Structure 1
C-alpha cells in the first residue's frame, strides 16, 4: 500500500484525468474521507459510500485518519479490496483540515474531488444525481448537496455583509456563485479550481472558517455553481446544545478565524468585531460563564 507523497509547495494536481482520457471515459472522482477518533467500521460516511453506484465513476478513495490510534489493519484491508485505487493515511498529531485537503488534492490525478467528513449518511442515489449534474453542466466547477440540520437548510447559505445566513427557500440547479456559502462535507470540486485558478484552502485556519474562506475565494474565479437536488442530514456542535467547555473552545476557534477570512474586507472585519462581542455576551449569559467574555 502506498503512502501519500509529499509534494512541492507549488499547488496544483499532477494533471486532470480528463487530459489523459477519451471523450467516452468515466470521470475520475477522488473521494477524501477524514476520520477522527472513529474507526472505518464506525463511520456512516464509509458504510453509505459503499452503497453508491461507483461504476458511474473511476473512483479513488483516500482515508485520512486523524485519530490518536491507527485503525485496525483488518478494516483497512477490507476497504482496500472494495476499491481498485485506495490509500490510508494516519497522522496521530491531528493534521489541520486545510493542510490535509491541500496535500491530498495536490498529490493526485482526478477530474473532480469529493470531500467528506466521517458522520455523513450519503443518500443511495448521490452518485447517480452527481453523474447526471456533471453531464448537464460540464463547465461548472463546484457541486453542492443540500445539508440539513433538523429539517433546516444549513448549507448552502448566503453571505450577508460579514456573516452567513440560512436559506429560507431551497434553490437547486446552476446558480450564481457570488455570496454563496457551503460546508465542505459533500462538496464536489473540479480539478480546474486547483489547476487553472491555483486555489488552495487557507492553511491559517485549522477547523472553522475553512469552508467560508474557500467559498468567498471561489466566487472570485467562477461565476456559477450547482446545487444538487440531494439532501444530507448533518449535525455539528455549533448547531446543537453542547457543554460550556466544548462550546467555549469551538467559539474561540471560530472567533479567531474571522479576521483571517476578512483580511481583505476592512469594513466587514470591523462589523464582525462588534458582532463577535455581542455573541460573546449572549453565550456568557446563556452559560452563566464569564470565560466567553475573555
Structure 2
C-alpha cells in the first residue's frame, strides 16, 4: 500500500467546479492499493463558510484563505500538516484518472527516486519535463518512462510526486517563499539538483493549459511576463555573477517589450514594476 498526500490549490473556484477534484472523486484508490488523503487549499476565497466537500469519497482536509497566498507558502504549510510517505501536487484544472496513479505507483515500487515526474502536454507539445539551459527551459528529446532526468532538469508542479524523506533535506521550507506563482517549480528543481536528488519520469501523462502561452491580450501578457521576470531574480541568485547576469538579461527583456509603436509597456514603468 502506497501512502499519498494529494495537494490541490484552488483559486476562487468552488471545489465542485474543480476538474481535478471531480476526476479524483471517480478514482477507486483502494483498488489501486493507495492510501490517499487529499488536502484542498481554497485561495483568495471570500466566503467564510466551507463548501460541501461530500463529493470526495475519501479523507479530505479543507483550508481556505481570504488573501491570495503564495503557492510556495501554501505548499510549505500543507507539508507541515500532512504525513504521507509521498506528496502529489495538482492545480485545480487537471484531468486525472486511475491510469495516472497506476503508472505512478508502478514507478514508486520499481525505482527508488526522490521525484516522480509526469509528462505534460500543451497543444501537441511536451512542455514538461525539460532541461534548464541557463534560464531557458528546453525540451528533452526521447523522454521515456522510468528513466532518470539529467542534472539541471525542470518540471512543472502539477502532477509532481515528491518523496517526503527527501523533503526533509530541504527543510524547514522546501519551497522558496520569496516566490509567489512563477518560478516556484524551477527553483525547487534547481534545489533538488543541487542536492543530487533523483527525478524519475513516470509513464503518467497530463494535459495543461498554459496561461502564459495562451493569453492573447497584450497587457495581460505583459503582466504575466513581469511576474515571470520578478521570479527570475530569486530563482537565479546562487552567486553574485549569476545574480548580476540575470538582472542584465531581465533589463534586455524589458527593453524588448518597450521598443516600437506597438510596445505594450514603457521601459521605466516596466523596470520599476519588475525591480520594486
Determine whether 1:103 maps to 2:80: no
Equivalent in the alignment of 1:19 = none
Determine whether 1:270 maps to 2:247: no
Call closer, same or farther: CA 1:229–1:101 in 2, change over 3 Å: same
1:257-285 C-alpha deviation (Å, 9 max, x unpaired): 11211111434333333332343344446
Query: What secondary structure, in the 3-state scheme, does the structure 1 residue paired with 2:227 have?
Result: helix
Determine whether 1:51 maps to 2:26: yes
Q: Structure 1: how far apart are the matches of 2:266 and 2:91?
A: 30
- Report the Cα offset of residue 124 of structure 1: 3.6
Q: Structure 1: how far apart are the matches of 2:204 and 2:54?
A: 31
Q: Structure 2: how far apart are the matches of 1:203 and 1:30?
A: 21
Query: What secondary structure, in the 3-state scheme, does the structure 1 residue paired with 2:220 have?
Result: helix
Determine whether 1:38 maps to 2:7: no
**RMSD value, Cα:** 2.2
- Report the Cα offset of residue 196 of structure 1: 4.1
TM-score normalised by the chain length of structure 2: 0.87
Equivalent in the alignment of 2:204 = 230
Contact 2:100–2:205 (8 Å) recurs in 1: no
- Of 77, 91, 112, 2:54 maps to 77
Equivalent in the alignment of 1:288 = 263
- Report the Cα offset of residue 243 of structure 1: 1.5
- Report the Cα offset of residue 42 of structure 1: 1.3
Contact 1:258–1:269 (8 Å) recurs in 2: no
Contact 2:86–2:164 (8 Å) recurs in 1: yes
TM-score normalised by the chain length of structure 1: 0.82
Identify unmatched segments of 5+ residues in structure 2. 272-276
| 1:96-135 equivalent positions in 2, closer than 5 A | 96-135=70-109
- Of 241, 247, 272, 2:221 maps to 247
Call closer, same or farther: CA 1:42–1:68 in 2, change over 3 Å: same
Determine whether 1:60 maps to 2:33: no
Call closer, same or farther: CA 1:205–1:78 in 2, change over 3 Å: same
Q: How many residues align?
A: 265
Identify unmatched segments of 5+ residues in structure 1. 1-25
Q: Structure 1: how far apart are the matches of 2:48 and 2:22?
A: 15
Contact 1:52–1:127 (8 Å) recurs in 2: no
- Report the Cα offset of residue 65 of structure 1: 0.2
Determine whether 1:218 maps to 2:192: yes
